[in-house]
Amino acid sequence: MLKWIEVDSKALLHNLSLIRSLVKKRTKVIFVVKANAYGHGIDQVVSITEKSNLIDWYGVNSIEEAVKLRELGVKREILILGYVERELIEEGIRNNVRFTVYEPSYISEIERKARKMKREAYFHLKLETGTGRQGIDKKDWKSFKEVLKKIEYTKFEAVSSHFANIEDTTDHSYAEYQLKRFNSFYKLIVNDGFSPLRHFSCSASTLLFPKTHFDFVRVGISAYGYWPSKETHLSFLLRHKNELELRKVLSFYTKVAQVKTLKKGSFISYGLTYKTTQKTKIAVLPVGYFDGVDRKLSNTGYFLIKGERVPIRGRVCMNITLVDVSHIKNINSEDKVTLIGRDGKEIVSADDWADKVGTINYEILSRLSPEIPRIVR
Ligand SMILES: Cc1ncc(COP(=O)(O)O)c(C=O)c1O
């Protein structure tokens, strides 16, 4: 195999058991496997976790992902976090998913379809608490209430919300403000005679704030062994005496396609952005931005070969990347290259890539091409 991703099943289960230990017994864990399980491979991640009692539900973004889980044999409940087109509501009901909703007419549409199918349907109402994306405003509750009084087949199972500023900072005052809005909105709903379950918490709030756990936590990145941000990690260390040993689940490998020596003063790759200052041994790697190797890693990133860092020289191409291997002895074509992962004492992680290209580990992981084979080990 020329390039492949390895998924460490023990690391994944280890992280999930750490998360499990942080939440109360009665709090259910929704394991977020959207975006091809954050690039880890939805098939592989589900094969590791479906039989495990460390998680309760799966969270996905789309109806397509939910159907895929059912095709993989998933029996657990599935919460769809994103929007489902109205014409696909029946498919959702047939596959026994939980819809996230935020429009009264959408609830009526679910009810109409559920009645026609003579099946129960479930939805979670998303509350706007300050993230400014999906969600209903408190002032619109009245119109929802009227619809909710009329539904029979459709079950108002839960309310949810999402934090806007919990990863990017060690100042959690905005998260506190959102939590207050959530609690006040929930009170209004309860006063009107409804008693939905509640969920608000992503990885950062699950790791930092037990008071946000409610009935479910929705965890993604931490299960895959990454901290949501340096700030979340720092906040955790300031609150707890002990480190939380998250283990990275994904490694990404390729093999050297060619080794060649360039004379001093030679250019490397498109745009002539790198010129050798001495005789330089280069390894040609058969991966590029099509695979998810961000083009902004050009001339800044590094990979690992034989336990050593090998810097990227010149521009990352669509299918090829060049690295400087002048310091590596006995290097040949088909030698293994660690793009993300550990080799000996050295590690290169999605955080390292993210720092170099000005993004977050979430984007690096979820953009790894779904076409790369994933292997569970
Ligand atoms: C609505 C929602 N809930 C939960 C999550 C999981 O967040 P995290 O990966 O930080 O745990 C996400 C991720 O994007 C999300 O969009």
Residues 41 and 184 occupy one common structural domain: yes
Mean pLDDT value of segment 206-218: 98
Q: Which pair of structure tokens corresponds to residue 213?
A: 């756990």
Residues 101 and 219 occupy one common structural domain: yes
CB of 285 within 6 A of ligand 1: the answer is: no
Residues 216 and 286 occupy one common structural domain: no
**Which of 22, 28, 29, 32 has most ligand 1 atoms within 8 Å of its beta carbon, as the pocket-test mutant?**
32
Tell me the per-residue pLDDT of 270-309, one tens digit each, with 9 for 90 and over.
999 999 999 999 999 999 999 999 999 999 999 999 999 9
Give the Å distance between the CA of 33 and the centre of ligand 1.
Answer: 10
Question: Which ligand 1 atom is nearest residue 167's CA?
Answer: 10
Give the Å distance between the CA of 256 and the centre of ligand 1.
Answer: 36
What are the DSSP E strand ranges found in 162-212?
Answer: 197-201
8 Å CB contact between 251 and 5: yes
> Quick check: is 244 in a domain?
no
pLDDT confidence tier of residue 169, bands split at 50, 70 and 90: very high
> Quick check: is 3 in a domain?
no
Residues 342 and 212 occupy one common structural domain: no
- What was the pLDDT predicted at 267? 98
- What was the pLDDT predicted at 285? 98
- What was the pLDDT predicted at 367? 98
* Dist CA 62 CA 81 (whole Å): 7
Residues 209 and 337 occupy one common structural domain: no
> Quick check: is 142 in a domain?
yes
Residues 306 and 179 occupy one common structural domain: no
Residues 232 and 256 occupy one common structural domain: no
| The last residue of a domain, from among 171, 205, 239 | 239
Mean pLDDT value of segment 163-181: 95
Name 74's Cβ contacts closer than 8 Å, sequence gap at least 6: 46, 50, 58
Q: Is 62 helix (H, G, I), strand (E, B) or coil?
A: coil
Number of neighbours of residue 146 by Cβ within 10 angstroms: 10
CB of 54 within 6 A of ligand 1: the answer is: no
> Quick check: is 245 in a domain?
no
Residues 198 and 290 occupy one common structural domain: no
pLDDT confidence tier of residue 241, bands split at 50, 70 and 90: confident
Tell me the per-residue pLDDT of 358-376, one tens digit each, with 9 for 90 and over.
999 999 999 999 999 999 9
Range of the domain at 57: 9-239
Question: Which ligand 1 atom is nearest residue 223's CA?
Answer: 11
**Which of 45, 81, 129, 163 has most ligand 1 atoms within 8 Å of its beta carbon, as the pocket-test mutant?**
81
> Quick check: is 2 in a domain?
no
Residues 49 and 19 occupy one common structural domain: yes
Question: Which ligand 1 atom is nearest residue 218's CA?
Answer: 4
8 Å CB contact between 314 and 269: yes
Question: Which ligand 1 atom is nearest residue 81's CA?
Answer: 1
Residues 256 and 110 occupy one common structural domain: no
pLDDT confidence tier of residue 348, bands split at 50, 70 and 90: very high
- What was the pLDDT predicted at 195? 97
Mean pLDDT value of segment 1-11: 98
CB of 134 within 6 A of ligand 1: the answer is: no
CB of 178 within 6 A of ligand 1: the answer is: no
* Dist CA 261 CA 324 (whole Å): 10
**Is pLDDT at 130 greater than 90 in this prediction?**
yes
Residues 180 and 309 occupy one common structural domain: no
| The last residue of a domain, from among 184, 207, 239 | 239
Residues of 297-311 as b/e, b for ≥16 C-beta within 10 angstroms?
bbbebbbbbbebbbb
Tell me the per-residue pLDDT of 98-123, one tens digit each, with 9 for 90 and over.
999 999 999 999 999 999 999 999 99
**Is pLDDT at 155 greater than 90 in this prediction?**
yes
- The active-site residue, picked from 28, 34, 248, 255, is 34
CB of 220 within 6 A of ligand 1: the answer is: yes
Number of domains in the chain: 2
Tell me the per-residue pLDDT of 179-211, one tens digit each, with 9 for 90 and over.
999 999 999 999 999 999 999 999 999 999 999
Give the Å distance between the CA of 227 and the centre of ligand 1.
Answer: 13
CB of 32 within 6 A of ligand 1: the answer is: yes
CATH code, domain carrying 289: 2.40.37.10
- What was the pLDDT predicted at 10? 98
pTM for the structure as a whole: 0.97
Is 224 tagged catalytic?
A: no
Q: Which alpha helices (H) appear in 74-157, and where do they start and end? A: 89-94, 104-117, 141-150
Residues 154 and 57 occupy one common structural domain: yes
Question: Which ligand 1 atom is nearest residue 162's CA?
Answer: 1
> Quick check: is 151 in a domain?
yes
| The last residue of a domain, from among 210, 239, 268 | 239
> Quick check: is 4 in a domain?
no
Q: Which amino acid residue places its CA nearest to atom 8 of ligand 1?
A: 220
- The active-site residue, picked from 83, 153, 177, 270, is 270
Mean pLDDT of the chain: 97
CB of 221 within 6 A of ligand 1: the answer is: yes
Q: Which amino acid residue places its CA nearest to atom 14 of ligand 1?
A: 220
φ, ψ at 56 (rounded to 5°): -115, -55
CATH code, domain carrying 118: 3.20.20.10
Is 263 tagged catalytic?
A: no
> Quick check: is 1 in a domain?
no
Give the Å distance between the CA of 275 and the centre of ligand 1.
Answer: 43
- What was the pLDDT predicted at 337? 99
